[in-house]
Amino acid sequence: MASLFLSECGLKPLPRIIHYQSKTGLTSRNTNLFKLRPLPVSRASSLNVSSLSKQRNWALNVAVPVNATPTVLSEEETKETEKNSNLNGEEGEFFDPGAPPPFKLSDIREAIPKHCWVKDPWRSMSYVVRDVAVVFGLAAVAAYFNNWVVWPLYWLAQGTMFWALFVLGHDCGHGSFSNNPNLNSVVGHLLHSSILVPYHGWRISHRTHHQNHGHVENDESWHPLPEKIYKSMDNATRTLRFTLPFPMLAYPFYLWSRSPGKKGSHFHPESDLFVPNERKDVLTSTACWTAMAALLGYLSFVMGPIQILKLYVIPYWMFVVWLDLVTYLHHHGHEDKLPWYRGKEWSYLRGGLTTLDRDYGWINNIHHDIGTHVIHHLFPQIPHYHLIEATEAAKPVLGKYYREPKKSGPLPFHLLGSLLRSMKQDHYVSDSGDVVYYQTDPNLNGSRKPE
* pLDDT tens string 43-76: 333 333 333 333 333 233 222 233 333 334 344 4
Give pLDDT, residue 95: 86
Based on the fold, state whether residues 259 and 184 are members of the same structural domain.
yes
Asked whether residue 449 is domain-assigned, the answer is no
Residue 66 included in any domain: yes
DSSP codes, 179-219: S-HHHHHHHHHHHHHHTT--HHHHHHHHHHHHHTTTBTTT-
Q: Are 260 and 333 part of one and the same domain? A: yes
What value does the mean pLDDT take over residues 100-119?
Answer: 97
How many domains does the chain divide into? 2
Give whole-number Cα distances, 155 to 161, 257, 307, 409, in Å: 10, 27, 13, 21
**Are 344 and 222 in the same domain?**
yes
The whole-number pLDDT of residue 170 equals: 97
Query: How confident is the model at residue 445, as a pLDDT?
Result: 65
The pLDDT mean for the chain works out to 82
Whether residues 157 and 68 fall in one domain:
no
Last residue of one domain, picked from the residues 33, 51, 85: 85
Could you tell me which residues come within 8 angstroms of residue 107 by beta carbon, excluding any fewer than 6 positions away? 397
Does 21 have pLDDT greater than 60?
no
pLDDT at residue number 337: 87
Residue 271 DSSP label: S
Predicted confidence (pLDDT) at residue 156 exceeds the cutoff of 80: yes
Pair 294, 422 in one domain: yes
Q: Is residue 450 part of a domain?
A: no
**pLDDT over threshold 60, residue 84:** no
Q: Does 103 score more than 90 pLDDT?
A: yes
- 49 and 152 share a domain? no
Quick check: 352 and 377 in contact, CB under 8 A? yes
Last residue of a domain, one of 29, 57, 85: 85
Q: Render pLDDT for 363-420 as a digit per residue (tens, 0 to 9).
A: 999 999 999 999 999 999 999 999 999 999 999 999 999 999 999 999 999 999 999 9
Q: 35-39, 118-122, 221-225, 433-437: which range is least confident on average?
A: 35-39
Instruction: Decide if 451 is inside a domain.
Output: no
Domain presence at residue 334: yes
Q: Are residues 77 and 114 in the same domain?
A: no
Q: Which of 443, 405, 410 is nearest to 424 (CA)?
A: 443
Question: Residue 187: its pLDDT value, please?
Answer: 98
Residues 6+ apart with CB under 8 A from 276: none
> Is 80 exceeded by the pLDDT of residue 6?
no
Q: What is d(CA 317, CA 326) in angstroms, rounded to the nearest whole number?
A: 14
Instruction: State the burial class of residue 317 (Cβ atoms within 10 Å of its Cβ: 0-12, 13-18, 19+).
Output: middle
Same domain, 72 and 194: no
Strand locations in 329-433 (E):
340-341
Q: Do 398 and 279 belong to one domain?
A: yes
Is residue 13 located within the same domain as residue 133? no
pLDDT of residue 223: 87
* Within-domain flag for 267: yes
Closest Cα to residue 448, out of 50, 98, 45, 87?
A: 45
pLDDT (mean) for 272-279? 92
For 146, the domain range is 105-436
CB 388 within 8 A of CB 370: no
Share of the chain above pLDDT 70, in %: 78
447: in domain: no
Could you tell me the pTM of the whole model?
A: 0.78
Return d(Cα 239, Cα 445) in angstroms, integer: 8
pLDDT per position as a tens digit, 222-244: 889 999 999 998 888 888 889 99
Residues 202 and 151 in one domain: yes
Domain boundary, last residue among 55, 85, 115: 85
What pLDDT score does 336 carry?
A: 85
- For residue 260, tell me if it sits in a domain: yes
User: Are 18 and 118 in the same domain?
Assistant: no
